[in-house]
Chains A and B, each alone.
Chain A
């Protein structure tokens, strides 16, 4: 019974932990402009993150090595430093977006200006990283994040034209009925943004370091695989529900998503104040959880690259550089937000830059997952490698196309 409860808990937190500010904003923007015509990208992204997370989790459980230790060992100093710089900066950008997201969600709940919430949110993130046990941190934010299921409930309450949504999803076209016609390049730009939102690299740093934090071993592999393979696809369905809600409510009225209040508009229209209460709890939990994950990831990447002692399982004084790095990153994020930059805009850029940086983390993991020195008999099987190669191509194409598309489309304007 306890075992079953543990399994259920793992799956539920994986669902709740799947969504972050990037998924919320990008799915909503895409839904309001393209309907469900980009739904296939969410599915491609979810399969990709399942593959990628499962592989990095297995590497961590078998060899006890987290992603960034491996990146330096495998790529050497030159490519390793370039990789660290890119991954670290994009992670910092995501961290900034998540802390801003917490503040925006709290603003919707309280009508207090977001710049007053930002320091509170950042301090709360630090306090949890400083004091709270890893598993409690993961479970609480994951379970509270489950209230985002209200997005799916709202979709049913809206009584949408299911046939129309299905047509959009299964016969994708750049201009679905009722929408403003968009350029093909804009469509593909948002395809990359959506792909980057589903496959954010920090999830992989966090997942593999978390496996080391929680001292996974080979016997935990089955459980971790179940969490990923069930939890993430269900999280992906929530992503699709957000896009579908936006397609039903925002798209016909041509409402552009420029802030969180438009993201929650479909839920408000369907379920009123009660639904809004649920969705705000969910957004605060999801963005706060992601802010914790990105803060920890900034410490993980630096400490693992330079070989410092790291981990929440140690006393802070025994992982001093790891903790000071996280404090500095939070302060930098707060400084960026203090300039008055719009967190939603930061989010939109961060998901595209995530797509650009994906090959940097993906390739070393694929190499090590095939290396018997690290993995023994747990190297990738043929099916995993076949998928791995297909995704390597997809990730490379998305990464290379992202910057040209960003310039051509004026960042999706």
Chain B
């Protein structure tokens, strides 16, 4: 599977999605870790019918995370409602880690982090102070 880099101004470069996208760290616009790429969402791939010749190649539409680790190991797929998407358009750069052009705390995928922060860690004295 080949992903084409869609960044404006950069030369298109061929990368192996399995090697350079899956299981890579995703950083937000402030370089804060967001998630690891659990899986990729591809556009219009029909699984049950043979693909007619001349069909345009599928493109990556989103980075997925959620309960995908178990299904990647043991097979099957989780229901779509359990998956968190990060739009491929929000991916700014692909290097050893993927960088986003948006802030992590605006994304659905960080809700557990926000919940733990607001309800537990943030309530312990000193939770909001710098460790310096």
Chain A interface residues toward B at CB < 8 A: 63, 65, 69, 72-73, 76-78, 80-81, 130-134, 303, 305-310, 312-313, 315-318, 320-321, 323-324, 373-374
Pairwise interchain contact A315-B96, C-beta atoms closer than 8 A: no
Pairwise interchain contact A315-B116, C-beta atoms closer than 8 A: no
Pairwise interchain contact A77-B131, C-beta atoms closer than 8 A: no
A381 to B69, CA, bound (A): 36
- Against A, the Cβ 8 Å flags (1 = close, 0 = not) of B55-94 are 0000000000100010011000000000000000000000
What is the minimal beta-carbon distance from B24 to any residue of chain A, in angstroms? 6
A374 to B65, CA, bound (A): 24
A134 to B132, CA, bound (A): 8
Pairwise interchain contact B34-A307, C-beta atoms closer than 8 A: yes
List, in ascending order, chain B residues with CB within 8 A of A307's CB: 25-26, 33-36, 65
Pairwise interchain contact A315-B120, C-beta atoms closer than 8 A: no
What is the minimal beta-carbon distance from A156 to any residue of chain B, in angstroms? 42
A72 to B128, CA, bound (A): 30
Chain B residue at minimum C-beta to C-beta distance from A127? B126
B121 at the interface (CB under 8 A from A): yes
B130 at the interface (CB under 8 A from A): yes
What is the minimal beta-carbon distance from B62 to any residue of chain A, in angstroms? 16
Give 3 closest A-B pairs by Cβ, nearest first.
Answer: A307-B36, A320-B117, A320-B116
List, in ascending order, chain B residues with CB within 8 A of A373's CB: 96
List, in ascending order, chain A residues with CB within 8 A of B69's CB: 77, 81
Knowing A306-B36, A312-B131 are in contact, say whether A317-B117 is a contact too (CB < 8 A).
yes
Pairwise interchain contact B23-A77, C-beta atoms closer than 8 A: yes
List, in ascending order, chain A residues with CB within 8 A of B124's CB: 130, 316
Pairwise interchain contact A76-B122, C-beta atoms closer than 8 A: no
What is the minimal beta-carbon distance from A316 to any residue of chain B, in angstroms? 5
B127 at the interface (CB under 8 A from A): yes
What is the minimal beta-carbon distance from A123 to any residue of chain B, in angstroms? 13
How many residues on the B side are at the interface (Cβ–Cβ under 8 A)? 33
Could you say which of B26, B33, B36, B114 contacts A72, with CB atoms under 8 Å apart? B36
Pairwise interchain contact A320-B36, C-beta atoms closer than 8 A: no
List, in ascending order, chain A residues with CB within 8 A of B34's CB: 307, 309
B106 at the interface (CB under 8 A from A): no
Knowing A63-B96, A313-B131, A315-B131 are in contact, say whether A308-B122 is a contact too (CB < 8 A).
no
Knowing A72-B36, A373-B96 are in contact, say whether A324-B25 is a contact too (CB < 8 A).
no
Pairwise interchain contact B25-A317, C-beta atoms closer than 8 A: no
List, in ascending order, chain B residues with CB within 8 A of A321's CB: 112-113, 116
Knowing A77-B69, A307-B25 are in contact, say whether A320-B122 is a contact too (CB < 8 A).
yes
A131 to B32, CA, bound (A): 21
What is the minimal beta-carbon distance from A404 to any residue of chain B, in angstroms? 29
Could you say which of A65, A80, A81, A310 contacts B96, with CB atoms under 8 Å apart? A65
Pairwise interchain contact B32-A318, C-beta atoms closer than 8 A: yes
What is the minimal beta-carbon distance from A59 to any residue of chain B, in angstroms? 11
B46 at the interface (CB under 8 A from A): no
A307-B35, A315-B129, A316-B126 are known; give 12 further A-B pairs, CB within 8 A.
Answer: A63-B96, A65-B97, A72-B23, A72-B36, A130-B126, A130-B131, A309-B33, A315-B130, A317-B127, A320-B117, A320-B120, A374-B96
